[in-house]
Amino acid sequence: MLTREKNALVVVSPHLDDGVFSCGDLLARSRLSTVITVCTGLPENPARLTSWDQRCGFPTARAALTERLEENREALRLLGSDGVELGLPDSQYVHNWQPFIPLLRESLKNALARLHPRQVVMPLGLFHDDHIRVSDILLSLLYLFPAAVWMAYEDVPYRARPDAVPQRLSVIRQRGIEASRVATPCRSDRKSRAVWAYGSQLRGFGACPDDLIRPEGYWRLTPSEGGP
């Protein structure tokens, strides 16, 4: 089920690390892949400092985004993947994200239409508002790209939270989409090197999260009969 075909794989990443943390082994197996990263835009006040950016060692949001973009580009280079940056803001910088929802949907739809993926791998949508939001939008777009194989990845490190995965799977199934576990790709040294490219994020965690050591997890998504 985890296809190796050239131009086959598109991974959607809410933030500048999620795609590699959660799908690095899968990306390493693909001869040509693309990671679409959603939250890559500066906030209205680029001089502000959030608690997470401070933990990662940054003095401002601008400094954080500048370095994180370079980290992500280096990680994707190590995996041999292309990158698409949608330029929407991280929720840590926005009081009300609701006005950005239409732009998020249109940006994801247009990006997928341009890439013509054979396989779309999206976040399951665990815990974090940005992850849930991106996942919900992609679930609504699944029906517009029926030729693609759709899968959801277990969001690292949020999948380690008790019952996070089964609770989200229940929500997805209630939306008329079947979810079935598929094989896990083999571990890759290339993923390990790519993970270490995210030095600022590892500082924020205090160390490499234990969840990164576990095998990646994937679920095939299929609209059930009677779905939209």
pTM for this entry: 0.92
**pLDDT for the residue 89:** 93
Task: Please determine, for residue 227, whether its predicted confidence score (pLDDT) is greater than 70.
Answer: no
Q: How far is CA 95 from CA 90, 92, 129, 193, in A?
A: 10, 8, 12, 35
Instruction: Look at residue 7 in the predicted model and tell me its pLDDT.
Output: 52
Whether the per-residue pLDDT at 3 is higher than 60: the answer is no
What would the two tokens of residue 26 be? Answer: 């899968």
Q: Tell me the C-alpha to C-alpha distance, in Å, between residue 107 and each of 44, 60, 102, 118.
A: 20, 27, 8, 19
pLDDT at 207 over 80: no
Tokens of 215: 């095998």
3-class state of residue 193 by DSSP: helix
Output the CA–CA distances (angstroms, integers) from residue 133 to 21, 47, 70, 109, 139, in the order listed.
19, 26, 25, 14, 10
Per residue in 100-144, pLDDT (tens digit) is 999 999 999 999 999 999 999 999 999 999 999 999 999 999 999
Buried b (16+ CB within 10 A) or exposed e, 58-77: bebbbbbbebbeebbebbbe
Query: Whole-number mean pLDDT of the chain?
Result: 92
Mean per-residue pLDDT, 154-163: 95
Report pLDDT digits (tens) over 59-80: 999 999 999 999 999 999 999 9
E strand map for 68-196: 81-89, 119-123, 149-153, 177-181
- On the question of pLDDT at 4 being above 50, the answer is no
Which residues, listed in sequence order, are joined to residue 83 by a DSSP beta bridge? Answer: 35
Does the bond joining 157 to the residue before it have cis omega, within 30 degrees of 0? Answer: yes
Longest distance between any two alpha carbons in the chain, whole Å: 52
Strands 119-123 and 149-153: parallel
Q: Tokens at residue 75, please?
A: 């990680």
Q: Tell me if 19 sits within 8 A of 154, measured CB to CB.
A: no
Integer Cα distance of 75 and 27 in angstroms: 11
Long-range contacts of 52-61 (CB under 8 A, 24+ apart): 52/92, 52/204, 53/92, 55/203, 55/204, 56/200, 56/201, 56/203, 56/204, 57/200, 57/203, 58/200, 61/93
